[in-house]
Structure 1
Amino acid sequence: MKQLVSALFLSAVSVLPLAAQQTQKPVLHGRNWMAITGKPLAATAGAMIFQKGGNAVDAACAMLAATCTMWDTLSWGGETQALIYNPKTKKVIAINAMGVAPGGATVDFFKSKGYNFPPEFGPLAATTPGTPGGLLYMLASYGTLSLEQVLAPAMEMAAGYPIEAQAAGSIERGKSKIEQWPYSKKVFLTHPGEKREAPEAGEIFVQKDLLSTLQKMVASEKQALKQGKNRKQAIMAAYDRFYKGDIAREFVRGSQEQGGLITMDDLAKWKPLEEEPLMVNYKGIDVYKLQQWTQGPVMLQALNILENFDLKSMGYNSPKYIHTLYQAMNLAFADRDFYYGDSYAEPREPMKGLLSKAYAKQRAGLIQYNKNDPNIGPGDPYPFEGKKNPYIGLLKERGYDLDFTSRNFAPVHDMTSNLPDTAYMERLWLGTTSVEAADKEGWVVSMTPSGGWLPACIAGKTGVGMSQRMQSFVLDSALNPFNVLAPGKRPRVTLSPSMALKDGKLFLSSAVQGGDTQDQNLLQFFLNVTEFGMNVQQATEAANFNTNQLWLSLGGTKTADRQPKPGQILLNDNTSEEVRSELKKMGYTLSFGARTSGPVNAIYFDWKHGSLWGGSSNHGEDYGIGW
């Protein structure tokens, strides 16, 4: 027993970037396919679809449907975004299935209710549902199986599955909110009046209304096929029923009954979009992220900045390495917090400037080597695309100085010295799930769906939990003129899958849950592989750190709830005393966590051996299956 405990301890604390580094979970090896996501049952759903002959898009859609049905920190009324590698065109494409603010959602409406940000929970937090439309579009355009086949695992689960402890515990903890919403109360509080009203772990959890909604979608597909429609048209018939038919009518009725703003017109006008992803080259590797309606470009900006440094020589998680990454991330997040927003709405974001190598070199020059800079603010990317910044006045009014002969100065209301409390850290890490799928034909999907998490407000008898993503808008242009709430607009979200190609071939596909920490953890995962030679499992488990020197994207309705905490850093418990001491000297305030890996899910493409390597972090319940 003593030897076993010692072995487990060594496995848990080993973070050295060596080929022999121990991990708590094994690398997944597959030749034909790989399916990884946030829950074991959902990964099994992906495996079932692969076994039926489906491709990676089919499997990813099945895993998405399963995780939504399991309330894996999301539901069917949330939002989906994905990167897909198409082996036929050899290109990475992006799917934008982010909902929009309903017609009645205005700045004046929320300010009249005393909000500095839209609410965290309830009907007024909801954008239009995006996940059903995104799933149906991806499946129709790039999948091979029918909707009935792909939804079969989710429908079986809706009919009754053994709920896991994490979701059951979330229901119990959130029951005071759930009790306010009649349709949620009916679904989630399976033991009304008892001391524990939520389901117990392992209890068969039945969702009759959701099952009916999924069955209606499949029935529309079948009817369209009987009418002679082709596969794609039949799947899109299910789309029309959800967004324009009886499902839509019940969703709108149930939302409005509980005080929501979404209308039939809002649903009918919304549609998923296929986009060009953004990309930068880091030392010969093309790294792809979603556009600036997500925080994805943060990682691209950070990589551009870090390309100016010899990271490998610093040593993995040395004080110098941690300090350099922390400063680079702060510079990128300062730009995110001011310049990112809906790429389809005015004003247009200066992404060419933000992603230019010259701008990154200028930003890198601001890094102080011996201390944390608590005054980092947004830069001025406009000259790097040949334009004049129209927001100079706003930035100066806010308190930033863009004279690069001096330092940037943060406004007083951006500064706080309070230690991170439980509520703050929950908002920083507010979770979702991730989906990774790849097949032998070369199709790859990286996805970070979210929204409608527990405690969720269910819209009528649809069984569909509404999104809470409205809270990611700002109501004050001084915070971010590109992300101010407006009807029909998408909020700038944290959701951020990644994909990388090397020498024109697939290299890495990765995604992670965790709110504002997503691109922090994905950046470090990527560098673990590329700079320090870790394999994909080692890189997912390796100790990361997180900066709190950013504006939170989620949680709280007051400005004080979202303020940055300059110099605050989350480190792994196993960080040495020497590293801790050096970071304190640099002005950092330290906090610690037992597991700080993400949790990252990822696939590495081994062209030497013609195989797939899957990595799934030891952080939570994430799980993968390969064949």
Structure 2
Amino acid sequence: MKYICLFFLGIIATSLYGQQTQKPVLHGRNWMAITGKPLAATAGAITFQKGGNAVDAACAMLAATCTMWDTLSWGGETQVLIYNPKTKKVIAINAMGFAPTGATADFFKSKGYNFPPEYGPLAATTPGTPGGLIYMLANYGTMSLEEVLAPAIQMAGGYPIEAQAANYIERQKALIKEWPYSKKVFLTHSGEKREAPEPGEIFVQNDLLKTLNKMVEAERNALKKGKSRKDALMAAYDRFYKGDIAEEFVRGCQEQGGLITMQDLAKWKPIEEAPLKVNYKGIDVYKLQQWTQGPVMLQALNILENFDLKSMGFNSPKYMHTIYQAMNLAFADRDFYYGDPYKKPEEPIKGLLSKEYAKQRASLIRYDKNDATIGPGNPYPFQGLSNPYINLLKNRGYEMDTTKRNFAPKHDMGNHSISEAYQDRLWRGTTSVEAADKEGWVVSITPSGGWLPACIAGNTGIGMSQRMQSFVLDSVINPFNVVEPGKRPRVTLSPSLALKDGKPFLSSAVQGGDTQDQNLLQFFLNIVEFGMNVQQASEAPNINSNQLWLSLGGTKTSDREPKPGQLLLNSNTPEAVRTEMKKMGYILSFAERTSGPINAIYFDWKHGGLWGGSSNHGEDYGIGW
């Protein structure tokens, strides 16, 4: 009787998503522009209307969101997947900054840190977003930097700031006051009771306006000298990373105690690379390489391919349990094996993404209860190698013999309390940018860094990245992600693209720290397994696991250690399902919205149209035509 009841609940849950969503599906025939702020989506629409392609529009939206401090700024980092209809291939752009000169594990340990700090100048990697934007515009766009930055330049000259950003500035003003250049920009009513801008106030950023105009000026001067479009764009790039903008950025960073040098800025460059992919039931799913957490979703899909998910019923106890266990297996590997592929040691990514390894990992899933002792596996034999870190894993408390099922490091077990600060670190956001056009260009971006409360570098108006905190200082936690100069941290930022029959099928991205690939995984399954449309899938309730090492926030080990069995469910979860999950050893918490702020585009080849899904969280917004 119990199983009949739970199956019935699964049918009911599935049928609910044939009903009305909180926001409508977006439809377009020519283009689609979706991002985290209405004004920024408008910047994308303006660019499309002027004749730009999806890359141009994505660059305009990226510039606008940075200018609006949509949980990022110009000093942050950009992660991009692009489908090129001319080559019919997906390419990736790695515009993640690296650790500056002097940023070593010993340096941070000498200051009493267990992880690099989450705020301030010592949290800063080199800025990646300006370089990433210019690179993709130069190589895959059609417009000039001046055209693409026009909306952002207008906004830097003054735009009505939203309540979300304005109120967050007020809440964080004590920290902002520690940095003189941040105080000058953000606390527009210094000394008054409310020092931050009021919601709707015209927020002017004169220093940023000058910086953006300098970049455009460099491009314009190069064009006047007869330079090509691409060379003119690179002139703007050079002014930012090697010219007077760089000089002021470095001066302001070092004045406040930061480490970034002129040599660091000049040495850093964006990288175009091949994405990673797996095939799930005939669909090729693409993610960025292992310097992101993107392969987590690929690993989880490989594991879940061994189960009949559809027969379990959407968000039935069996389904949620299986998803949770698969994610935990993948995240345990992420936490130990992922890192910068351009620095030694080399990550065992071939083994991690092999179908055979996934079958071995899938065999570890227990059907009766949550396994709180899951830890990283041993992918090396699946690429014909011996694991050089067996002793390190054993020292950490692991037993690699799968028959003994003791996989958890003793100090990873953590306690079961969830503080508000922990939950903030788990969900800590960014934004997303999705764009597509009728020619077939598709762009998915998860940019971030330099979020409020940002430490602004001198008189540039640019908030410095805080991504250094995603490094570790101890190889016992992850030997591939120990901080060193010139190295990129393993980040949470993770756009997605999927192709079916060689054509774009689905483009998606989401904010939310370590929950990104949890939510994107379930969003993908909502469409592929349960037949939801793109808006239904973006609003459908997901689960979130806390059984992982946090990538953001806190400088103590206890701030970040895993919390086994912690499970976030939607507030509307039926009581019978809650009871069943508790019986399996889960410690439950609830929220009204658990899907994550997902933005996505579905490609309707049958009718020749684009379907846009824009999250019902926060201020995410899309426009189609």
Mapped partners of 2:603, 2:390: distance in 1: 45
Mapped to 2, the partners of 1:543 and 1:39 lie a distance apart of 22
Q: Which residue of 1 aligns with 2:18?
A: 20
| 2:519–2:596 contact (8 Å) kept in structure 1 | yes
Q: Which residue of 1 aligns with 2:293?
A: 295
CA displacement at 1:358 relative to structure 2: 0.2
Separation in 1 of the partners of 2:114 and 2:20?
47
1:412 is displaced (CA, Å) by 2.1
Contact 1:571–1:592 at 8 Å: present in 2 too?
A: yes
Identical aligned pairs, as a percentage?
82
Q: Distance in 2 between matches of 1:287 and 1:525?
A: 13
Paired residue for 2:402?
A: 404
**Is 1:90 the equivalent of 2:88?**
yes
| Pairs within 5 Å for 1:325-344 | 325-344=323-342
Distance in 1 of aligned mates of 2:613 and 2:576: 30
Distance 2:505 2:591 in 1: 30
Instruction: Give the structure 2 partner of residue 186 of structure 1.
Output: 184
Letter in 1 for 2:541: A
Contact 1:46 1:60 in 2 (8 A): yes
Q: Does 1:428 pair with 2:417?
A: no
Aligned to 1:564: 562
Q: 1:414-471, CA deviations, whole angstroms, 9 ceiling, x for partnerless residues?
A: 1123321100000000000000000000000000000000000000000000000000
Match of 2:218 in 1: 220
Query: 1:19 Cα deviation (Å)?
Result: 6.1
Decide whether the 8 Å contact of 2:396 with 2:476 is kept in 1. yes
Aligned residue runs from structure 1 range 470-619, under 5 A? 470-619=468-617
Q: 1:568–1:590: 8 Å Cα contact kept in structure 2?
A: yes
Cα distance between partner residues in 1 of 2:386 and 2:564: 29
Matches within 5 A, 1:124-163: 124-163=122-161
1:347: which partner in 2? 345
Q: Where does structure 2 lack aligned partners over 5 or more consecutive residues?
A: 1-11
**TM-score (norm: length of structure 1):** 0.97
Q: Which amino acid aligns with 2:94?
A: N
Query: Is 1:441 the counterpart of 2:418 in the alignment?
Result: no
Tell me the secondary structure at the aligned position of residue 405 of structure 1: helix
Identify the range of structure 1 (18-27 vs 205-214) with the bigger mean alpha-carbon deviation.
Answer: 18-27
Of 53, 56, 59, which residue of structure 2 is paired with 1:58? Answer: 56
Contact 1:18–1:534 under 8 Å retained in 2 = no
Match of 1:244 in 2: 242
CA distance in 2, matches of 1:223, 1:619: 43
Aligned length in residues: 614
| Alignment check: 8 A CA contact 1:302 1:328 kept | yes
- Answer yes or no: is the 8 Å Cα contact 1:433–1:513 preserved in 2: yes
Q: CA separation in 2, counterparts of 1:443 and 1:129?
A: 26
Instruction: Provide the rounded CA distance (Å) in 2 between the counterparts of 1:15 and 1:35.
Output: 30
2:313 and 2:285 map into 1 onto residues whose CA distance is: 23
CA distance in 1, matches of 2:128, 2:19: 41
**1:16 CA displacement:** 3.5
Q: Give structure 1 stretches of 5+ with no counterpart.
A: 1-13
Quickly say closer, same or farther: Cα 1:264–1:17, change in 2 above 3 A: farther
Partner Cα separation in structure 1 for residue 330 and residue 205 of structure 2: 43
Shift of residue 411, structure 1, vs aligned partner: 2.0
Partner of 2:281: 283
- Residue 7 of structure 2 corresponds to none
Kept in 1: contact 2:416–2:564 (CA 8 A) = no
The residue aligned with 2:6 is: none
Alpha-carbon separation, structure 1, partners of 2:15 and 2:406? 35
Rounded Cα–Cα distance in structure 1 between residues aligned with 2:340 and 2:512: 21
Aligned residue type for 2:232: A
Q: What's the offset of the Cα at 1:191?
A: 0.4
Name the SS for the 1:410 alignment partner.
coil
CA RMSD of aligned residues (A): 0.8
CA separation of 1:209 and 1:489: change in aligned 2, threshold 3 A:
same
Secondary structure of the residue aligned to 2:65 is helix
**Equivalent residue, structure 1, for 2:207:** 209
1:90-142 per-residue CA deviation (whole Å, 9 max, x = no partner) reads 00000000000001101111000000000000000000000000000000010
CA displacement at 1:17 relative to structure 2: 4.6
State the one-letter code of the partner of 2:618: G
Corresponding letter in the other structure for 1:545: I
> Once the 2 structures are TM-superposed, how far is the Cα of residue 408 of structure 1 from its aligned partner?
3.1
Report how far residue 18 of structure 1 moved: 5.5
1:72-91, CA deviations, whole angstroms, 9 ceiling, x for partnerless residues?
00000000010000000000
Equivalent position SS for 2:403: coil
